[in-house]
Amino acid sequence: MNLRAAIEALREAGVASPDHDARELLAHLTGSSRLLLADPTPEQAAEFGRLIARRAAREPLQHLTGMAYFRHVELRVGPGVFVPRPETELLAGWAIDRARELEAPVVVDLCTGSGAVAAAVRDEAPHAEVHAVELSADAFAYAESNLTGVDLRLGDAFVEFDDLVGAVDIVVCNPPYVPLEAWESVAVEARDHDPHLALFSGDDGLDAIRVLAARAARLLKPGGVIGVEHADAQGESAPAVFAAQGSWEEVRDHRDLNDRPRFLTARRTLRGSPTGE
């Protein structure tokens, strides 16, 4: 299969970025740049056709290449782990900026998945002490291969790190937040290939965020901060969870590059003790 036919096949299949994906797959096979593609061998051309067919069936591009790019790091990904999205790079950037403001920050990445956010923080704020946790054994295996210099644990994000209670400066989390009722609206690549543990969170999508608001309040030092990704329809409801929990101030929401609500931030109050866990 040639490149032009591959692009057309992906376009007809409804793939959102047919030109990019076809070029990425051909570059992956030939070991060349996507912008300066090498001619494939006959064997590579045949394999290219097979990969295009799989992508046309909406298998994620990153599963076909085995890699995802997140800020300045390259991550190993595949079946069993949530593929990091470009939107989450803004949340990671916020955490990195906050870490750079501190001399020796302690950063905890809850629901780390592939380890994308933890890896980015470690890469761009190397002075930070970074901890991460993942519940899924399949996803944990990917995080293990992607993270160095990070305290990575296999466990429940909402009960782990009792040893860090009251000692954390920054909590960052990309939790599951898709409402169960939104099943049909989820992109095929995510719905059929990302682990549902990383996607769905109760009828309104806020179940994990409610637990997170209480748990993070215990982990953080007074004055510590949290950043949490959410669905674009949760720009009011997700911050409201933190505003109502009683341990947070400076609760605000942030928009992504497409001007959609994307993540909230809040500061652990300096007074009182955390409640509601």
What is the SS3 assignment for 2?
Answer: coil
**175 annotated among ligand-binding-site residues:** yes
Q: Confirm whether residue 142 is marked as ligand binding.
A: no
Which amino acid, one-letter code, is at 235? G
For residues 153, 159, 162, 165, the Cα torsion angle rounded to the nearest 10 degrees is: 110
Determine the straight-line distance between the first and last CA of the chain, rounded to whole angstroms: 57
Distance from C-alpha of 197 to C-alpha of 178, rounded to nearest angstrom: 10
223: Cβ contacts below 8 Å, ≥ 6 apart: 267, 268, 270
69 assigned to a ligand binding site: no
Q: Binding residue per annotation — 134?
A: yes
Per the CB < 8 A criterion, the answer to whether 175 and 134 are in contact is no
Q: List, in sequence order, the alpha helices (H) in 39-181.
A: 42-56, 61-65, 88-100, 116-124, 137-146
Judge whether 229 is annotated as a binding position.
no
Q: Is 252 helix (H, G, I), strand (E, B) or coil?
A: strand
**Known binding residues for S-adenosyl-L-methionine:** 134, 174
**Known binding residues for substrate:** 174-177
**Known binding residues:** 134, 174-177
